[in-house]
Copies of this chain bind each other. A is one copy, B any other.
Amino acid sequence: MTDLELKSTSTMIMKPEVKIPRATKSIQVGNVKIGGPEFAVIAGPCSIESRSQFAETSMAVKSAGACLLRGGIWKMRTDVKAFQGLGSEAFQFIKETIDDSGLGLVSEVTDPRQIEMLDDFVVMYQVGARNMFNYALLKELGQTKKPVLLKRSFSALIEEWLKAANYIISGGNENVILCERGIRTFETKTRYTFDLNAVIWAKQNSHLPVIVDPSHAVGIRDMVAPVAYAAAAVGADGIIVEVHPRPAEALSDGQQSLTIQDFKTMMHTIERILEATDRSLLKA
């Protein structure tokens, strides 16, 4: 029941003193279930740039153990002159690539009017950090049935992040997965400051699954894997990570994209850390 659920979410936010972690709600995303004991790895390029780039990346991350694909179609770029994504022109080859891979696609929606267009081929809508406060968009996603990956704004209080989730839940869509992706602080050596505390807090005080985006949280390729290890060690429900066959040629976020080899190496260590805490990778 939506309304009861809401009351309980709201109670949870108001009672940080609750000590025992709430059982996390499992959410069906395409063929997999996020929020159970297993750890989900969602991987793929920052932007979908071409059929070959997307196909190559998809096959590689699948064979290394990812259970879902990521890939941006419309991009939120600070600079209006920067690459804004392929948009609807890429729909055809995206659908074909997904079908070939057998994995579900998670992709960002940046405008309420894109929801219907994407409905055909994504298994989860992603709300980017810059749109976490876009309540018009969140309300619209509350009307859909598909799960929503809600990234924390880089300036959102944990409480605002959970209350943003309520905008979707109160519309009738209870399938929200939270994603911490780094906050903005005074530090400049890294792109953002990964807020591990927020991941732990949200796991202990809400019933929603919580995943980590190590790519944006740190912004430097060689530091991405350690952030992912921390996510596994503290009991997060998964990660969403950027992988590119040739990061130097990427049209966006090349500096933080893992190579395919990096990704494989990382997956191996993640598996060992999960074992140490009696967990395992979520299989596609």
Flag if B135 contacts A76 (CB, 8 Å): yes
Residue in B155, B227, B229, B233 whose CB lies within 8 Å of A186: B155
Flag if A157 contacts B275 (CB, 8 Å): no
Question: A280 in the interface, Cβ–Cβ < 8 Å?
Answer: no
Residue in B19, B184, B226 whose CB lies within 8 Å of A200: B226
Flag if A218 contacts B232 (CB, 8 Å): no
Q: What residue of chain B has the Cβ atom nearest to residue A130's Cβ?
A: B133
Residues of B within 8 Å of A232, CB to CB, are: 233
Q: Considering the chains assembled together, what is the distance between the CA atoms of A235 and B276 in angstroms?
A: 15
| A 122-139 binary contact with B (CB < 8 Å = 1; else 0) | 000000001101111000
Flag if B189 contacts A217 (CB, 8 Å): no
Flag if A163 contacts B78 (CB, 8 Å): yes
Residue in B131, B197, B218 whose CB lies within 8 Å of A190: B197
Residues of B within 8 Å of A217, CB to CB, are: 197
Residue in B194, B222, B235 whose CB lies within 8 Å of A19: B222
A-B contact pairs, 20 of them (CB 8 A): A16-B189, A76-B135, A80-B163, A80-B167, A131-B134, A153-B155, A157-B187, A157-B189, A183-B186, A183-B187, A187-B198, A190-B197, A194-B195, A197-B218, A197-B223, A200-B223, A200-B227, A229-B277, A233-B273, A272-B277
Enumerate the 8 nearest inter-chain pairs by beta-carbon distance, A residue then B residue, closest first.
A155-B155, A130-B133, A230-B230, A233-B233, A111-B136, A276-B276, A272-B276, A226-B234
A binding-site residues for B, Cβ under 8 Å: 16, 19, 76-81, 110-113, 130-131, 133-136, 153-155, 157-160, 163, 166-167, 170, 183-190, 193-198, 200-201, 204, 217-218, 222-223, 226-227, 229-230, 232-235, 269, 272-273, 275-277
